[in-house]
Amino acid sequence: MPVDGRVARGDATRRIVLRRAVDIASVEGLEGLSLGRLATELELSKSGVFALFGSKEELQLAAIETASAIFAENVVGPTKEVEPGIARLRALCANWLDYSERRVFPGGCFFYNTGAEFDARTGRVHDALANASRAFAEFIRTAVVEAKKAGHLRESVEVNRLAFELHALGRAANADSVMFGGTEPYALARAAITARLDDATS
- What global pTM score does this model have? 0.91
Sign of CA dihedral 117, 176, 20, 80: negative
Q: Is 85 exposed, middle or buried (0-12, 13-18, 19+ CB in 10 A)?
A: middle
Quote the CA–CA distance of 130 and 138 in Å, as a whole number: 12
> CA dist 75 to 10, 67, 93, Å?
28, 12, 9
- Per residue in 106-151, pLDDT (tens digit) is 999 999 999 999 999 999 999 999 999 999 999 999 999 999 999 9
How far is Cα 185 from Cα 178, in angstroms, rounded to an integer? 10
- C-alpha closest to that of 94 among 166, 157, 182, 183: 166
Residue type, 123: G
| Nearest by Cα to 56 from 104, 87, 21 | 21
CB-based contact 113:92 (threshold 8 Å): no
Tens-place pLDDT, residues 6-36: 666 768 889 999 999 999 999 999 999 999 9
